[in-house]
Structure 1
Amino acid sequence: MCGLLLCGVMSDYFCDDAKDPPTDVLRDLPEGLLWTIFSMLPLDAAVRTSALSRQWRYLWTDCPKLSFDGNTLCSKKNHGKQVYTPLFIHIVNRVLEQCRGKFVEGLAIKIELNCMLVEYLDNWVRFAVSSGTKALVFDLAPEERQLVGRDDRYRFPFELLDKESICRLQKIHLSFVDFQPPMQFRGFPNLQKLDLNLVNVSGKDILHMLSNCCNLEWLSIVRCHLNSELEVNCPLPHLLYLKIVSCNITSIVFDAVNLVTFKYKGRAVPIDLSKSSELVCADIWFGRVTFGHAIAVLAKVLTSVQHLILDTACKPQKIPRLMHHRCEFSQMTYLQLRLVYVEEFDILSLISFMRSAPFIEKLELHFCFPGYVRLAQELEPIRKLPEHLFNNLKSLHVTGFKACIGQVELLSHMVENAPALEVLSIDNSDKYPLEGHEKNAKTVVDLVHRIVRRYLEGKISPKCTLILL
């Protein structure tokens, strides 16, 4: 950028002869090329182009996307609290005044909410309405460590929206906002992306709004305590991405036939995505549940998923037993399990779940044991299950492998029943370590490796590469 600015300054005064008038070598660039350049630049870079040419001095005001980040424009490190917010307000107002009356495709505001901002936030919504804005971002969340005890929110001013702006909006991202649509509100008919984070909104209001957003393609609801079910029964045929995290809901139902990606973090509640036959990726985090219950919930809704990531803190069944499932996941080719064992758990019982995905090609198992784990003794007998081949399995990667008897039994069974296995990677360290946990000493790691070799001796195909970490 410094080089560009230098060239720009020179362009204003460059001349072939000292007696000739200054020549602006950038002024004659084609207008179409200029628009292409400006449409790709962030606001701060677009403003800096005013130094490149006299003819460009105010071209940045035609920048179609305006994004204001408080940390970038006026960092708290350089300005105290008494100066930070007023300075941000001043900068935003000056820029918007320059752009008034022009089309602004996107307006993004990112700054921590305080009472001084409310009046100006309303004015900036008015600007978005008058400027034909299609994408509106108000990210007002404070830093994570300052969230505790904060119950204030910016009330989103629905009364400032007119019919045209409601129909025009295609993207909305709100954070730390009170979102209470009026009774007569019928949703955003052309909305394609909705991102809500730390937003006060009732389950009833969000359901009513989603039922009238038939063009929605991308939906994320994070830390919005709905305290109710999230059951959207009207079709959302364009929805491709769905993310629900820490929303304290009791059930999930979506009619989204073209859904591709589903992410969920929370309690193991009933989930109905039975109409989502195109689902490719699912990333699920359940709290402390039995593994059998977690799978029972997923087996009803993720039958067509191809890539599954399941993260859960496992507690044992009251009566340890092998789970029995029919071939539920017939489309699955990739499975990643991130398992925290809060109590003793029969690890070998995972085999029954893997049998429900017979066409799996890549398997990742990430174990985490909060407490002490007893290593299997080198001559200790292990349980064996009936043969059940995983003919498509080519890659098996295990982390957090402590060589306890359950892990050894599971690993031995998988290797014996995977004739096409090409890569077997076993890592003693935790990929997702718990806070305060330290790495094992080299002597322990060496012992784990020795146990692995002892139990897998003669079972690994010569075509398989064994990696011990």
Structure 2
Amino acid sequence: MDLFRVDLKSEIHLRFLLSSCSNLEWLGLCECYNLENITIENPFCQKLKYLNVSLCQQLKKLVLHNTSLETLEYKGREIELVFDAPRLTTFYSPVSDTSACHKKLWPILKLPTVLPQMETLILECSCFMGEVMKNRLSALTFPWLRHLEVIKVATVRQDLGWVAIILKTCPVLRRLDLHLRTYFCCTEDEVSESDWPEKFSHEDLKEVVITVRGHSSEIEIAIYLMRVAPALQKMIIEPTAKICSF
């Protein structure tokens, strides 16, 4: 069930609606309003597997007490997250420019606490997130994360440092997908390997998929991953249209 730009009146009205949807497996709330709290809890929605909450501007709190939910997508402002959902292992969220500018890195910094069992994380990051990741992620650990997918935009070149930090915070990561979008001038400055992050070994990474435009900094990331992942079994580099600005 997808609700788009629906006036839900209040949380009580949403609960009443969900009480009649005992077999619901998919729920999407997009740009819905007059809703400050969303609570998904037993005995409602006992078969719900997928929840998508997007751009509900008045939302302040998301509470999940559910034993069937497996995937959550969230897009919007910073809110309070309260999770008691043991099967919730997949999370997707874009990280906005605003969060980057204020160095909150929300919701990433909250996830090891509210969702420690997370196995799959999909992030969409802005141009400025590389530096923020290097400064803030180093103190975190995602103990069970096995699949990480990052959509990362850069204006000039990709920063290799945030890739190294991500690997260190995900010790059992097995698959890494990087969708790199680099907008650059035709003249490129290559970075010496002496400027690369300190070398370490990630023993669990087995598969890497990189989507690139062909910028030298993107190729550096591929080379770096091959060197730090001795158990790597497969790397796929998928080219996309190369864009130059004059």
2:80 aligned with 1:270: yes
Between Structure 1 and Structure 2, which shows a larger proportion of strand residues?
Answer: 2
What CA distance in whole angstroms lies between the structure 2 residues aligned with 1:280 and 1:415?
27
What CA distance in whole angstroms lies between the structure 1 residues aligned with 2:9 and 2:223?
50
Q: Give matches, 1:162-181, under 5 Å.
A: none
The equivalent of 2:37 in structure 1 is 229
| Greater relative contact order structure (CA < 8 Å, 6+ sep) | 2
The equivalent of 1:101 in structure 2 is none
* Paired residue secondary structure (1:200): coil
Aligned mate of 2:2, from 173, 186, 195: 195
Relative distance call for 1:296 and 1:314 in structure 2 (3 A) is farther
Pairwise CA distance, 1:293: 0.8
**Which letter does structure 2 place at the counterpart of 1:352?**
I
2:195 aligned with 1:392: no
What CA distance in whole angstroms lies between the structure 2 residues aligned with 1:236 and 1:351?
42
Q: Give matches, 1:30-179, under 5 Å.
A: none
What CA distance in whole angstroms lies between the structure 2 residues aligned with 1:310 and 1:398?
14
* Paired residue secondary structure (1:349): helix
* Paired residue secondary structure (1:298): helix
2:206 aligned with 1:360: no
The equivalent of 1:439 in structure 2 is 242
Relative distance call for 1:354 and 1:320 in structure 2 (3 A) is closer
Contact 1:250/1:269 (CA < 8 Å) preserved in 2?
Answer: yes
Relative distance call for 1:337 and 1:373 in structure 2 (3 A) is farther
The equivalent of 1:350 in structure 2 is 163
What CA distance in whole angstroms lies between the structure 1 residues aligned with 2:177 and 2:51?
24
**Backbone CA RMSD of aligned residues:** 3.4
The equivalent of 1:324 in structure 2 is 138
**Which letter does structure 1 place at the counterpart of 2:171?**
P
Contact 2:125/2:153 (CA < 8 Å) preserved in 1?
Answer: yes
* Paired residue secondary structure (2:195): coil
The equivalent of 1:218 in structure 2 is 26
What CA distance in whole angstroms lies between the structure 2 residues aligned with 1:341 and 1:251?
32
Structure 1 residue runs of 5 or longer lacking an equivalent are 1-193, 430-437, 442-469
Relative distance call for 1:368 and 1:270 in structure 2 (3 A) is farther
Between Structure 1 and Structure 2, which shows a larger proportion of helix residues?
Answer: 1
2:227 aligned with 1:416: yes
2:124 aligned with 1:311: yes
Relative distance call for 1:399 and 1:240 in structure 2 (3 A) is same
Question: TM-score, normalised to structure 1's length?
Answer: 0.43
Pairwise CA distance, 1:231: 4.0
Pairwise CA distance, 1:359: 1.8
Deviations 1:370-403 (A, max 9, x none): 454863437564323241x322222111112544
**Which letter does structure 1 place at the counterpart of 2:2?**
D
What CA distance in whole angstroms lies between the structure 2 residues aligned with 1:326 and 1:235?
34
Pairwise CA distance, 1:338: 0.9
Question: TM-score, normalised to structure 2's length?
Answer: 0.76
What CA distance in whole angstroms lies between the structure 2 residues aligned with 1:439 and 1:403?
8
> How many residues end up aligned between the 2 structures?
236
**Identical residues among aligned pairs (%):** 21
The equivalent of 2:94 in structure 1 is 285
Contact 1:382/1:409 (CA < 8 Å) preserved in 2?
Answer: no
Relative distance call for 1:229 and 1:375 in structure 2 (3 A) is farther
